[in-house]
Amino acid sequence: MSGDHSHNEDQIDCGSRVNSHRHKYKEHKHKDHKKDKEREKLKHGNDHASDKKHRDKDKMKHKDGSTDKLKDKHKEKKIKVLDGKIKKEKENGFAHVKCEPDDDFYHSPKHEKSLKRERDDDEYDFKSKKVKTENDKKDKKRKQMEDIKPKKTKDKKGETADGKKKAKKEPEEKWKWEEERYTDGVKWKFLEHKGPVFAPPYEPLPSKVNFYYDKAMRLSPEAEEVATFFAKMLDHEYTTKDIFRKNFFKDWRKEMTSEEKAKITDLKKCNFSEMSDYFKAQSEARKAMSKEEKLKIKAENERLLQEYGFCIMDNHRERIANFRIEPPGLFRGRGDHPKMGMLKRRIRPKDIIVNCSRDSKHPQPPPGTKWKEVRHDNKVTWLVSWTENIQGSIKYIMLNPSSRIKGEKDWQKYETARRLKKCVDRIRTQYRDDWKSKEMRIRQRAVALYFIDKLALRAGNEKEEGETADTVGCCSLRVEHLKLYPENDGQEYVVEFDFLGKDSIRYYNKVPVEKRFQVFKNLQLFMENKEPDDDLFDRLNTSILNKHLQELMDGLTAKVFRTYNASITLQQQLKELTNDENVPAKILSYNRANRAVAILCNHQRAPPKTFEKSMQNLQTKIEAKRDQLSDAKRELKSAKADAKVRKDEKSKAVETKKKAVQRIEEQLMKLEVQATDREENKQIALGTSKLNYLDPRISVACKKWGIPVEKIYNKTQREKFAWAIDMADEDFEF
């Protein structure tokens, strides 16, 4: 395009910067250099220099430790907010429970009684689409969903690929995913549950187990408990890290009596080894328990699950995801987390906010205790919440992914991504045009969006410095995270990305970018006259970006691009790959397609500890199988010869041998496929994309290649994707 130079850089309207120059908490090392190095090799060939470079940078960045004071301020604010929140009890906790007598999909033996309440037929007539008065966004969204809903019971216009009827199914038995949902942010009308399960109380150590500080020393129960947290982690690398030790010691001292505090002044002098040995012995003992004992524990767990692991939301008994409160312990942040090692406090009933319907049987706090609050807010989905003491954030107990409320949200997410599919070309054209805008903020927005689209980067919200590990996403990229090469390895206009993303997973990538469309030139411009730790996009943040995206398409946000690109990639890759003849090869193809997505989204994992070994085992197996095969072939040959001699044209022996050869060949192939698959998978995690980014209906549609869903999804996954399995046909198109 000739527009390349139509705007002189000097003319750019600079406006004011969104983000001022920032002094970051300066200490970002990589979580595990060795790991990174390997990963890098795997993914990007051989850039050996970069790891070292990173390490050097880390050293450079140590001078500034300026942010500690922020914390107190931070805390103050939190308290205020908490106070304010108590007032805001909602008035909409009403509930009418209906009972669906024929609904045996969610069989609920225990709770049948609570289900048998008055039926309010009118209200639950979800076929009649009464659109209420609300005109808010959510309502709009809902309407969009309705348009593309598969209509099983009443087929309107078969507008969508998945809109076909499935007569064979009995929709009455299952959750009706196309049921009319509530409007105006109401998430449920009836919610009943038993509350959380608390962590077991601390059991003091037997008197023979000692803690040593110079000499044996008995700790107060409070101090002892915290000491055991540390003792249990002694084998972990964490306990060697300075920040971890510092934070731990500081918080531990808070739990000590004044005598203990006076005495124990140096963590280095603390000897936890006896405690540590004791716990190791305990865990051994647990493993060595008799069958009966193990069974007993299992039964007890099952009982707890049955009692606390389910709730009733509207007229269904639904599984709760995490009904156990997180036990106390030492905080294990990921990457270089400034708070690692801090004490994660024990959560008590008085910390707990319970959410349920007004007319439900309220969960009871343990005898002699009280909940912090019981509220009836049906505009949220959580059952229980509490505020965690490390970051001051709120933790929730919510439903399992198999639940209606989560499934529907999931479905909606993919529908939004499919809507993006319809207008992505338009959006791409627009951001390309915007690269040439005379407004700096628009150029930045356009380049950022390009990265988000092309590289599937995360949005990149700002983070509070010094509160978390120093990680970034697209909008929060800093100058130091990019390198520009006008020419690199024979390619023109290469951008090298090197930064830590979510969970401090390294993103390293070299990408050639469009010069004629000015990406490269824009980047040079954005980086001009800036320090390494200045923001690359200084006139952009996620809020600005998402507001813009919202204008381009209703419901569009940065993360929709990840979903869209992941799902569309899977679909394309599957079309390219799946022309193999047998099922195992097809599964391999599926996994490869899945892998392409995982690579796109940078979903990595540490190579499994047992990787080398298990690979060897597999090779041994393969060789054994090969031997077996040649044996079988030999036998077949001799059987054939034998049959010829005896002129026995339909020799049974020959037939059986033939079958044996075939079977072994199949087994061998299966093993070989498995080996390839595993090797390719060494450092790539497929699970995350499979669970969160790939429209499950694409996988369901793999029926058309003869791949049954069971081969792709295990039981839990099938439960999570019940909605997709229920509604998608083999001709589903994302």
Partner DNA sequence: CGCCCGACTTAGCACGCGCCAC
Partner DNA sequence: GTGGCGCGTGCTAAGTCGGGCG
Site for DNA in 134-163 (CB under 7 A): 137
Tell me the C-alpha distance between 385 and 377, whole Å: 12
Tell me the C-alpha distance between 713 and 526, whole Å: 45
Residue with tokens 């299992």, as numbered in its chain:
298
Radius of gyration of the chain (CA): 30
Q: Per-residue x/- marks for DNA, 628-667, CB under 7 A?
A: ----------------------------------------
Please, what is the minimum distance in Å from the beta carbon of residue 346 to DNA? 11
Tell me the C-alpha distance between 434 and 496, whole Å: 23
Q: Is 333 in the site for DNA (CB under 7 A)?
A: yes
Q: Per-residue x/- marks for DNA, 173-212, CB under 7 A?
A: --------------x-------------------------
- CB 469, CB 475: distance < 8 Å: no
Q: Extract the tokens encoding 297.
A: 């524990």
Q: Select 105 or 396, whichever has its Cβ closest to DNA.
A: 396
Q: Select 220 or 550, whichever has its Cβ closest to DNA.
A: 550
Residue with tokens 């609050």, as numbered in its chain:
373
Out of 3, 65, 221, 327, name the contact with DNA by CB under 7 A: 327
Tell me the C-alpha distance between 187 and 355, whole Å: 12
Residues of this chain, 29-88, that bind DNA according to CB under 7 A: 74, 77-78, 80-82, 84-85, 88
Please, what is the minimum distance in Å from the beta carbon of residue 725 to DNA? 15
Q: Select 100 or 462, whichever has its Cβ closest to DNA.
A: 462
> Strands 310-313 and 191-192, how do they pair?
antiparallel
Please, what is the minimum distance in Å from the beta carbon of residue 291 to DNA? 9
Q: Which stretch binds DNA (CB under 7 A): 38-46, 221-229, 603-611, 634-642?
A: 603-611
Please, what is the minimum distance in Å from the beta carbon of residue 99 to DNA? 25
Out of 276, 444, 604, 699, name the contact with DNA by CB under 7 A: 604
Residue type, 448: A
Q: Select 518 or 567, whichever has its Cβ closest to DNA.
A: 567
Under 8 Å CB-to-CB from 600, ≥6 apart: which residues? 455, 456, 565, 566, 569
Tell me the C-alpha distance between 587 and 593, whole Å: 10
- CB 363, CB 194: distance < 8 Å: yes
Tell me the C-alpha distance between 453 and 119, whole Å: 49
Out of 223, 442, 459, 568, name the contact with DNA by CB under 7 A: 459
Please, what is the minimum distance in Å from the beta carbon of residue 355 to DNA? 8
Residue with tokens 């970018």, as numbered in its chain:
513
Q: Select 252 or 693, whichever has its Cβ closest to DNA.
A: 693
Q: Extract the tokens encoding 622.
A: 């393969």
Please, what is the minimum distance in Å from the beta carbon of residue 398 to DNA? 6
Q: Select 322 or 651, whichever has its Cβ closest to DNA.
A: 322
Out of 33, 57, 174, 334, name the contact with DNA by CB under 7 A: 334
Tell me the C-alpha distance between 160 and 163, whole Å: 5
Please, what is the minimum distance in Å from the beta carbon of residue 473 to DNA? 3
> Strands 373-375 and 353-355, how do they pair?
parallel
Residues of this chain, 264-303, that bind DNA according to CB under 7 A: 283, 294, 298
- As a residue count, the chain comes to 734
Q: Is 437 in the site for DNA (CB under 7 A)?
A: no
Q: Select 328 or 512, whichever has its Cβ closest to DNA.
A: 328
Q: Per-residue x/- marks for DNA, 536-555, CB under 7 A?
A: ------xx--x---x-----
Please, what is the minimum distance in Å from the beta carbon of residue 493 to DNA? 26
Residues of this chain, 682-701, that bind DNA according to CB under 7 A: 685, 687-689, 692-693
Out of 473, 569, 632, 660, name the contact with DNA by CB under 7 A: 473
Q: Is 502 in the site for DNA (CB under 7 A)?
A: yes
Residue 563: closest CA among 446, 478, 690? 690
Q: Is 442 in the site for DNA (CB under 7 A)?
A: no
Q: Select 583 or 653, whichever has its Cβ closest to DNA.
A: 583
Q: Select 261 or 332, whichever has its Cβ closest to DNA.
A: 332
Q: Is 567 in the site for DNA (CB under 7 A)?
A: no
> Strands 482-488 and 394-397, how do they pair?
unpaired
Residue 558: closest CA among 457, 425, 416, 464? 457
Please, what is the minimum distance in Å from the beta carbon of residue 483 to DNA? 22
DSSP 18-49: SS-----------S-HHHHHHHHHHHHS---H
Q: Select 525 or 544, whichever has its Cβ closest to DNA.
A: 544
Out of 26, 548, 603, 657, name the contact with DNA by CB under 7 A: 603
CA 465 to chain centre: 24
Residue type, 285: A
Please, what is the minimum distance in Å from the beta carbon of residue 337 to DNA? 5
Task: Kindly tell me the burial class for residue 192, based on how many C-beta atoms sit within 10 Å of its own C-beta (0-12, 13-18, 19 or more).
Answer: buried
Looking at 488-609, list the stretches that DSSP marks H as alpha helix, in order from N- to C-terminal side: 519-527, 542-552, 558-577, 583-600
Q: Is 396 in the site for DNA (CB under 7 A)?
A: yes
Looking at 124, 508, 693, 713, which residue is catalytic? 693
Q: Is the dihedral of CA 723, 728, 730, 734 positive or negative?
A: negative
Q: Select 276 or 689, whichever has its Cβ closest to DNA.
A: 689
Please, what is the minimum distance in Å from the beta carbon of residue 253 to DNA? 21
Out of 716, 730, 731, 733, name the contact with DNA by CB under 7 A: 716
Out of 469, 477, 698, 722, name the contact with DNA by CB under 7 A: 469
* Residue 396 among the catalytic residues: no
Q: Per-residue x/- marks for DNA, 359-388, CB under 7 A?
A: ------------------x-xxxx--x-xx
Residue with tokens 């041994």, as numbered in its chain:
620
Out of 430, 557, 628, 651, name the contact with DNA by CB under 7 A: 557
Q: Select 151 or 406, whichever has its Cβ closest to DNA.
A: 406
Q: Select 136 or 159, whichever has its Cβ closest to DNA.
A: 136
Q: Is 228 in the site for DNA (CB under 7 A)?
A: no
3-state DSSP helix/strand/coil percent for the chain, to nearest 5?
A: 50, 10, 45
Out of 164, 317, 406, 586, name the contact with DNA by CB under 7 A: 406
Tell me the C-alpha distance between 656 and 632, whole Å: 10
Residue 562: closest CA among 461, 458, 699? 458
Residue 585: closest CA among 484, 676, 679? 676
Q: Is 571 in the site for DNA (CB under 7 A)?
A: no
Out of 93, 163, 329, 341, name the contact with DNA by CB under 7 A: 329
Q: Is 398 in the site for DNA (CB under 7 A)?
A: yes
Please, what is the minimum distance in Å from the beta carbon of residue 236 to DNA? 7
Q: Is 354 in the site for DNA (CB under 7 A)?
A: no
Tell me the C-alpha distance between 706 and 354, whole Å: 47
- CB 287, CB 373: distance < 8 Å: no
- CB 418, CB 565: distance < 8 Å: no
Tell me the C-alpha distance between 271 and 210, whole Å: 9
Q: Which residues are catalytic?
A: 693
